[in-house]
Amino acid sequence: MKKDIYLLLADSLKDSLKELGLFAGIKEELYLDVPSDMRYGDLSSNAAMKLASVLKKSPRQVAAEIVEKLKTKLDKPGLEGCIKEVKVEGAGFINFFLSNDYFYAQLKQILEKGADYFKSDIGKGLPVLLEFVSANPTGSLSVAHARQAAVGDILANVLTCLGYKVTREYYLNDEGNQINILGKSVGLRIKELAGEKIEFPEDHYQGEYIYDIAKAAKERNIKADELGEFAAGYILDIIKKELTAFGVDFDVWYSQKSLREKGRIEKVFARLEKKGFLYKSDGALWFKSTEFGDDKDRVVIKSDGSHTYLAPDIAYHEDKYKRGFKMLINLWGPDHHGYINRLKASVAALGEDPQSLHILIVQLATIFRAGKVVHMSTRRGQYITLQEVLDEVGRDAARYFFIMRKVSSHLDFDLEVAKKQTPENPVFYVQYAHARISNILKNAPVHIKYSDVDLSLLKEKEEICLAKKIYQFRDTLNACLKTLDPYALTCYLAELSEAFHKFYDLHRVLGTDNALTAARLALIRAAQIAIAAGLDLAGVTRPEKM
């Protein structure tokens, strides 16, 4: 694969610093960056400023010395003709201006390869297990799960695009206390439907759907001690339908029950016991998680003999590694943040590198309806479900909205806004750009052979801006990888669409100059490829017309 200009330039910069005897002074891994504003060039380095205080020289002077060395290294293979100018600007930034020819060449490649142009092999096929949603099968998916579903699915798409081998997994809590209570809830409703007077405890599942399950269970004569399992299966079917409607498909549904049935929990306990990380106290079995940075040791078997949630989870994560995954990503709700240390401790105790386990807390989405907060309570069965959001705003808006903020930030989701087909709704701004391009391409007079087009006719500021923005899609994908957060995708799509709309407004694509028309058609086709690739990753449709 052809080396990226970023890497080539970074190498040249590094060599220059070495020759000047300065390289040791650079501590940060990154000293070459895409500046926020294009007037500061296409790539920028702050190396001189980092070094100035050590050298006790002015940053601009250091920058000038680096640039002098660097200038002799800009004609090596892959770089020749790519750099138009290197300037020392501001407090001591070294700014690199790439030539238009470089961007024309990139556009050609995009037109040739299509969306594949944006793929990379950074991941080198590393097996990644992305576990998300994992909601208990005790009710429909809530909005909190919906956000995790959108983030997880889109993150998986991005990582796949970057060459990782991603498995999407749903961990199914198909046994334990919650399932028992679920079964009891259904049992009571059956009695109630038969005319018996019942008392329905506060901690039981109050939702209307329990009646539906009760009716189904009665029809099939399900035994009382099998009601929990039956209800969980019934609800799981609903969850699966909801996720499919949302465009989220899992590769693996991992059963917690299967861990116990295979004796995996005992096996992992034996392993920890042998290493001396378990001890008995107050009739319970404890895991010495404090040895690995947790604030207190954790119970794994309660004094009544039953497991805590942590017990199967240790076995589960052991199994993730046993299945050959090198990178684990867990998306959890904010109610689990206290759980991070003990799970990382477990992984460390098993001899795995806790750094390979990435736990992302996906903050809650607060649902508004016409500016009013909608409160949620699973137990009372009064909450907005994923399905309701989908019915109300559609899949496109829902998926897009849920990743529009950083996963670590709270998200306000107003159903009324997401429903609107106006610019207030950002997903339409992007889709509109795509549809507009489709329309122009449809009206193009003749079929254009993109390989023959003279792109050097693209000289207007808006044309160059658009070309650069298209190219920057790669940076966006890398940013998503670095943060394990797909939200940068929405920012990029908005910026790319804006660059297109600005170009469109000032310059006519279909004109009398055939060569220029061809060049502009090629440009907007490349823009469309990038928008489509972004929308595909987000799992949002890309309409030809709206």
Partner RNA sequence: GCCCCUGUAGCGCAAUGGAUAGCGCAUCAGCCUCCGAAGCUGGUGGUACAGGUUCGACUCCUGUCAGGGGCACCA
Which helix (H) or strand (E) covers residue 95, if one does? Answer: strand 93-98
∠ CA(495), CA(497), CA(498), 5° rounding?
65
Which of residues 190 and 239 has its CB atom nearest to RNA in the complex? 239
Q: Using CB under 7 A, pick the residue from 100, 308, 472, 541 that binds RNA.
A: 308
User: Cβ of residue 331: shortest distance to RNA, in angstroms?
Assistant: 14
Quick one: which segment of 106-114, 352-360, 378-386, 428-436 binds RNA (CB under 7 A)? Answer: 428-436
Q: Using CB under 7 A, pick the residue from 103, 321, 400, 428 that binds RNA.
A: 428
**What distance in Å separates the CA atoms of residue 419 and residue 350, rounded to the nearest whole number?**
48
Q: Contact between 59 and RNA (CB under 7 A)?
A: yes
Q: Using CB under 7 A, pick the residue from 273, 335, 460, 513 that binds RNA.
A: 335
∠ CA(33), CA(36), CA(42), 5° rounding?
55
User: Cβ of residue 342: shortest distance to RNA, in angstroms?
Assistant: 9
Q: What is the 3-state secondary structure (H, E, C) of 337-372?
A: HHHHHHHHHHHHHCCCCHHHEEEEECCCEEEEECCE
Q: Using CB under 7 A, pick the residue from 302, 326, 358, 379 that binds RNA.
A: 302
Quick one: which segment of 36-44, 105-113, 191-199, 349-357 binds RNA (CB under 7 A)? Answer: 36-44
DSSP 197-210: -----TTS---THH
User: Cβ of residue 290: shortest distance to RNA, in angstroms?
Assistant: 13
Q: Using CB under 7 A, pick the residue from 259, 509, 519, 523 that binds RNA.
A: 509
Burial of 444 from C-beta contacts in 10 A (0-12 / 13-18 / 19+): middle
Contact status, residue 215 vs residue 193, Cβ threshold 8 Å: yes
Give rounded-to-5 percent helix, strand, coil for the chain: 55, 15, 30
Quick one: which segment of 6-14, 75-83, 350-358, 508-516 binds RNA (CB under 7 A)? Answer: 508-516
Binding mask 11-30 for RNA (x = CB under 7 A): -------------------x
Q: Using CB under 7 A, pick the residue from 4, 18, 53, 270 that binds RNA.
A: 53
**299 CB neighbour count, 10 Å cutoff:** 17
∠ CA(56), CA(61), CA(63), 5° rounding?
105
Residue list 437-496, contact with RNA (CB under 7 A): 438-440, 443, 491, 494
Residue list 136-155, contact with RNA (CB under 7 A): 136
Quick one: which segment of 78-86, 108-116, 157-165, 296-304 binds RNA (CB under 7 A)? Answer: 296-304
∠ CA(387), CA(243), CA(369), 5° rounding?
30
Q: Using CB under 7 A, pick the residue from 5, 16, 17, 40 that binds RNA.
A: 40
Q: Using CB under 7 A, pick the residue from 406, 475, 516, 541 that binds RNA.
A: 406
Q: Alpha-carbon dihedral of residues 249, 251, 253, 259, nearest 10 degrees?
A: -160
